Amino acid sequence: MIEIFKTNYEDDLISLFQNNSELNKYKEIVIFGEFIGENSFAGRHEDEPHDIIFFDILCGHRQRKFLKPQDFIRTISDIVPVPKIVYEGALTDEFINYVRQNKFSLKEGVICKGIETNGAFVGNTWMCKIKTNDYIQKLKNLFGEEWAKYGE
């Protein structure tokens, strides 16, 4: 993963972080990604080509915050691979059921992000994962009772 990152993404990301007025003010920036291959599953990888799909950026040193979902996509989607967006709107039971039933033809599931609209964390980004029923069943088949360690 390190070699792929350094070869394919490091220079472009450093340039972005240095030249973007919204990002270059931060002392630290952490970018999150998932190492993937065609046959990768639950952290296990075959001997095949791999890549990294980036899904979040955490900015700051002592007072850290995640980029808002729209800012993340706007800032980085032209530079590195990001997950496809399958839905924009409120997180509803209907959407969760669609993901579980794999109505979006997903390999694993989705990462949902939003902005807290009230309370002590108003304006901050929240995130959750929703896996498809097929993915959860594969986890159960592979890991038995320990499957939840690899789930949501």
User: Which residue(s) pair with 37 in the sheet?
Assistant: 50
Residue written as tokens 């995640």?
66
Give the global pTM: 0.85
- 75-129 per-position pLDDT tens digit: 999 999 999 999 999 999 999 999 999 999 999 999 999 888 877 777 788 889 9
What does the H/E/C string look like for the chain? CHHHHHHHCHHHHHHHHHHCCCCCCCCCEEEEEEEEECCCECCECCCCCEEEEEEEEEECCCCCEECCHHHHHHHHCCCCCCCCCCCCCCCCHHHHHHHHCCCCCCCCEEEEEEECCCCCCCCCEEEEEEECHHHHHHHHHHHHHHHHHHCC
Copy the structure tokens of residue 6: 């350094």
Tens digit of each residue's pLDDT (9 = 90 or more) over 8-64: 999 999 999 999 888 889 989 999 999 998 888 888 888 999 999 999 999 988 888
